[in-house]
Structure 1
Amino acid sequence: MTTDGAARELRDLIEARVAAVARRDAGALAAQQAGDVLAFNVLPPLRLRGADEVAPQTEAWFDAYADGPGYEVRELHVDADGDLGYCAFLYHVTGRLKSGADVSMWVRATLVCRRRDGRWVVVHDHESIPWDPESGQGLAGLSPDDDAERGN
């Protein structure tokens, strides 16, 4: 069961994440991650191991945008037991790529966090987008409102 202090600290971690994306500050995002983080991000490759692999991918993500990326978190759920916790949420990415394409996509995210040396760090980052088995395409354009319309 989450203590109020742990829940606040995990929420603060997410607020700092949102602020770092707004500043396009890959270093601040990397500082939230354990050196041995395991990341399954939306962008290729399938997996990254270690903050030294994740940081260049984050820089490339930022560099692809002419305007943005916007990063809005919704439906944040946190829980912790001792020094192990998680944050699960949806995030909406918006902006305009340097190619001229507009981006508006929803992503599901779960961060597994561990308290090390008195602070929470991300030890596992897992992101995904819904997938349509009929077309074989990702459905990043879905929104939480689509679920509400279906009664989920």
Structure 2
Amino acid sequence: MKAITTDIEIRQQMNVFVEAFSTKDVKLMMSLFTSDMVSFDIIPPLQYVGSDAYTKVWEDTFALFQDPIDIEIRDLKITSDEHLAFSHCFLRLNATMKSGHKIDYWERLTCCFKKIGKEWLIAHEHVSLPVDLKNGRAVMDLKPES
């Protein structure tokens, strides 16, 4: 029964992630993370350590986009015990940048949640895009299998 409860709680946190991203709510987004979190994001550098550093990333990211931002999560999988939970999914970002450039691509998102008190918070986040090793560029036109 515990795994089912955890699964529901992690799915709720991922729904909050989508809401925070789509509404560009930095405070809501950062409420999902531990203060000592680590992120391996697609935005350089290789890692961000601590929620203070990562707050700036979200502020800068949200400033790039016009409203609305369309976020979709697909194939969310969760593995957990009573202290840790891992989720992985595909995340679609469909939006228009303030420059007018439209983007629509899928990325891979893995989160490690830690149970702190009664709340599941993200201690580690890993975002990635596949890379074509022949030309050294991210491949942004792939879609999850239906």
Q: TM class by shorter-chain length?
A: over 0.9
Deviations 1:31-80 (A, max 9, x none): 11000000011112211000101111001111101233321100100111
Cα pair distance change 1:59/1:82, threshold 3 Å: same
Kindly indicate whether the alpha-carbon contact (under 8 Å) linking 2:23 and 2:69 is maintained by their aligned counterparts in 1. Answer: no
The count of residues paired between Structure 1 and Structure 2 equals: 146
For residues 65-80 of structure 1, the aligned pairs below 5 Å read 65-80=65-80
Q: Secondary structure at the match of 2:45?
A: coil
Q: Secondary structure at the match of 1:3?
A: helix
**Counterpart amino acid of 2:82?**
G
Q: Secondary structure at the match of 2:100?
A: coil
Q: TM-score, normalised by structure 1?
A: 0.91
Q: Percent identity?
A: 25
Kindly indicate whether the alpha-carbon contact (under 8 Å) linking 2:129 and 2:140 is maintained by their aligned counterparts in 1. Answer: yes
Cα pair distance change 1:44/1:2, threshold 3 Å: farther
**Counterpart amino acid of 2:72?**
E
Listed as ranges, the gaps of 5+ residues in structure 1 are none
Aligned residue in 2 for 1:113: 113
Runs of 4+ in 1 over 3 A off after TM superposition: none
Once superposed, what is the RMSD of the aligned Cα atoms? 1.4
Kindly indicate whether the alpha-carbon contact (under 8 Å) linking 1:90 and 1:106 is maintained by their aligned counterparts in 2. Answer: yes
